A and B are shown apart, each in its own frame.
Chain A
Amino acid sequence: MSLFYICLTFIIKISYNKVYHKYTVSCRLMSGVILLKTCIAAMPSYTYVLKGEKLLKARGYPCEIRRNEKISKNGCGYSLYIYNDCKKAVEILEKYSVPYTISEYGGV
């Protein structure tokens, strides 16, 4: 399982109002990379990958459909990148008869 470390960059601005003698602090997030556990579930067709995505997202599991970069032995296809607890996510897929193959665990 590959992980990304959280790296957040903020711009903090402090300004002073001479009339009212007040300081104002503002903070803005510039960039960030979120720590994720990821697994990739390859599915036989777009119908199943869409079904899988809807099931997982409805249950709070962020995921993303991607076209497979590598042609597998089954040909071209789609995978669901699951950014959460993979074990629980695949339990959901199995419960709703969504066929999948975990092609790899890995980061984006």
Chain B
Amino acid sequence: MRPNVNSGFESDQWYAVGGSAALAAGRLMPATVLESELVVWRDSGGTVHAWHNRCIHRGLRMTLGFVDGDTLACRYHGWRYGAGGKCKVIPAHPGMIPPDDFQIPAYAVCEHAGLIWASIGAAGDSVDFDGPGEHLRFCRDLVVRRAPERVSALAKRAIFRPYGDGEDDLIYEHREIAPSVIRIDARSGGDTATIMLAIQPITADRTGVHVLAGGETTDERLHYAAWARRLRWFMENPDAANSSWNPLSIDHS
């Protein structure tokens, strides 16, 4: 039951699944892209992997497992899987070399602009858009209980008040700088503040939104984190009474 093909959310694209900084070496996290469950993990050397979230032996979710050096271990029988999803060790038979076809399907994964990106289809070599610059950093992962198409449309009219600025004379520009990546610039006089929203189609009615925003000081980061929380609430309640707190209150379409 995938979102229909006309939604623009194709399997052959890169989708952000989380902030790079939120996944430390030796840790794993679950992610879902277009209904497919992934395990995303970072080995002890710092390399990120994204695989089908299922052990080939008895079907256990690999997200219940644990990272052991440069391998991911299944929690059920301790099978260790290394680069490319290849099975390296089967503890029940310590001397056995696992056959070549004992392999978990591995997906393309890369890190760019402070985010981890994965593709469950045949995406290009890496995420292809200019980074937002040094002044933006990972702010929040949101999960919105709305369809990806709907969230994407709402993201294209989201506005924000730049940290430290008044609300006068702001001019907003929304651009889709890559499939599923929306950049919002707010200009006031000669200054520009930027927020970037990377949309992750999770299921037909759940959507991830990964927010990059300014964050030189704690106060600035709190300002944008509070904005992100409000953005999610109004995306889930788009018919709520208008409010100066509503990041979607001005229609720029």
Q: Do A and B bind each other?
A: no
Give A contacts to B, CB under 8 Å.
none
